[in-house]
Amino acid sequence: QVQLVESGGGAVQAGGSLRLSCAASGIIFTINVMGWYRQAPGKQRELVATITSGGVTNCANSVKGRCTISRDSAKNTVYLQMNSLKPEDTAVYYCLVIADRDYWGLGTQVTVSS
């Protein structure tokens, strides 16, 4: 059974930092891409960052310069470090793992107060 366990969300003041983690288990196929999306109330889900199996990273323009994504392939875990958080970063953050198909986590809430 595939499981994506997300952690690290919570409430933080503007200017603060958070580190999200997502550990994937039960996926028997090669994991090609791991990443994070987010969805704010009333908005569509949007890309935050991705990292390939080769270590190529991509952060969305909205978080570029404040975002660091990394992965531990041995643990099938992806990390998202977000700095200088802004109220507009408030959203539910979802982990994505792309192997034989897309796998999504249940999401973790990040709330940034001004």
pLDDT of residue 26: 93
Half-sphere exposure of 114 (CA within 13 A, CB side): 2
pLDDT tens track of the chain, all 114 residues? 999 999 999 999 999 999 999 999 999 999 999 999 999 999 999 999 999 999 999 999 999 999 999 999 999 999 999 999 999 999 999 999 999 999 999 999 999 999
Count of CB atoms situated within 10 Å of the CB of 44: 7
pLDDT of residue 17: 97
Q: Strands 57-59, 3-7: parallel, antiparallel or unpaired by DSSP? A: unpaired
| Sign of the dihedral through C-alpha 28, 29, 32, 33 | negative
End-to-end CA distance of the chain: 40
Collapsing DSSP to helix, strand or coil, 21 comes out as strand
> Torsion angle, CA of 108/94/30/3, rounded to 10 degrees?
40
